[in-house]
Structure 1
Amino acid sequence: MNTKDEAQPSAKKLIIFLDCGDTIIDEGTEIRDEHDIVVQADVIPGADRMVKTLAERGYRLALVADGYAQSFKNILTQNGLYDDFETMVYSETVKAFKPSPRMFKAAVGAMDLSERDLPRIVMVGNNLGRDIKGANQMGITSIFLSWTPRYPKQPTDESEIPDYTIKEPMDLVDLAERLNERLEEADLGRMSG
């Protein structure tokens, strides 16, 4: 219940795109049905708290993930995270997989953003060849979550080198705060200059 006295978080300048598998959800816990839809899965330790904390602090969140829409609806709803995202972009509906720019452009469009906003977007993911490469190609800040043992941790070329690397989901909260602060300081500098 909100009263006028309760402080609502002010919207942050930084916008966060998140992958799902091995970024929020532990792919090793996925249970799939006969149609390859994920019907149940557990979050990575701390990932639910990360999503909730970012949402509570006023960050706009988008899910940008390869897979079936129903899979993400199932697992994010089960884990109480579905409503924390402003938008969700899936390869199934976009008809492309990361690192295709179509995935990232779809999320930008769904959030009523434009190319001018790209410098204030970060993409957080576990896959250097998809999440990091795709973000880098778009001019979006890339953040590699190196939690999973399932995917390579060494870039194969320069396009896969992340701007930042974090080890645990909750590491994103402090990093997001620092990056947001830089954006706000840059805005203040432009206004006073």
Structure 2
Amino acid sequence: MNGSKEEKRLILFLDCGDTIIDEGTEVRDENGIVVEGKVIPGADVMVKTLAERGYRLALVADGRAQSFVNLLTMNGVYDCFETMIYSEPIKAEKPSPRMFKAAIGAMDLSERDVGRIVMLGNNLSRDVKGANAMGITSVHLDWTPRYPKIPADASEAPTYTVSDPLEFVELVERLDAALTASEAGSASTAS
């Protein structure tokens, strides 16, 4: 990541399958490791743009570590992430709070920071439900036809929905500006 950019207030957790990588293009080896896959149109630009603009990024994804290393490296976005949390070593999958807590810990954050974390994912029952349960702002990327687009219940209702990865960049910029303004307002009334 480019250290000369001003760090943004929002912290971004991103899923991988059907959020960055098109699961329909994945090729697996005999051990089930993904060895090939293509990005969703615009997803590589999304990740690089967010990193270049100073956002701290964590991958929070269900699956095997080597699959993500392969996919993110071949698509040129591996180095954009500050940390990568995979279900394989955590021994849990989203919506388990262990996945989100591992990312919070790996980024040296605390419970006080939860209000400035945004989770982008394609799966309402995993990404959105897990983020909501932790008090993390949830954003559903409804790009894929592979997963339900209608929440099964209130626990799966996203805070925001985007249909395109580049729409997420615009949303994040608005949310970060609002958070920065809110914090500036709080600081001026406290002094």
Deviation at 1:26, TM superposition (A): 0.2
What are the residue-to-residue correspondences of 1:24-173 with 2, within 5 Å? 24-173=20-169
Deviation at 1:9, TM superposition (A): 1.8
Segments of structure 1 that go 5 or more residues without pairing to the other structure are none
Segments of structure 2 that go 5 or more residues without pairing to the other structure are none
Percent identity (aligned):
69
Output one character per residue of 1:7-40: Cα deviation in whole Å (capped at 9) or x when no partner: 9320000000000000000000000001110000
Secondary structure of the 1:156 match is coil
Distance (Å, rounded) in 1 between the aligned partners of 2:83 and 2:178: 25
Counterpart position of 1:183: 179
Say if 2:163 is the partner of 1:174. Answer: no
Counterpart position of 2:18: 22
Distance (Å, rounded) in 1 between the aligned partners of 2:33 and 2:17: 13
Question: AA paired with 1:96?
Answer: A
Distance (Å, rounded) in 2 between the aligned partners of 1:172 and 1:166: 6
Q: What TM-score do you get using the length of structure 2 for normalisation? A: 0.97
Distance (Å, rounded) in 1 between the aligned partners of 2:100 and 2:56: 15
Distance (Å, rounded) in 2 between the aligned partners of 1:141 and 1:55: 19
Distance (Å, rounded) in 1 between the aligned partners of 2:168 and 2:114: 19
Equivalent pairs, count? 188
Distance (Å, rounded) in 1 between the aligned partners of 2:110 and 2:182: 19
Output one character per residue of 1:123-181: Cα deviation in whole Å (capped at 9) or x when no partner: 00000000000000000000000000000000000000000000000001110000001
Distance (Å, rounded) in 1 between the aligned partners of 2:128 and 2:98: 15
After superposing on structure 2, the runs of 4+ consecutive aligned residues of structure 1 that deviate more than 4 Å are: none
Secondary structure of the 2:177 match is helix
**C-alpha RMSD of matched pairs (Å):** 1.1
Output one character per residue of 1:16-73: Cα deviation in whole Å (capped at 9) or x when no partner: 0000000000000000001110000000000000000000000000000000000000
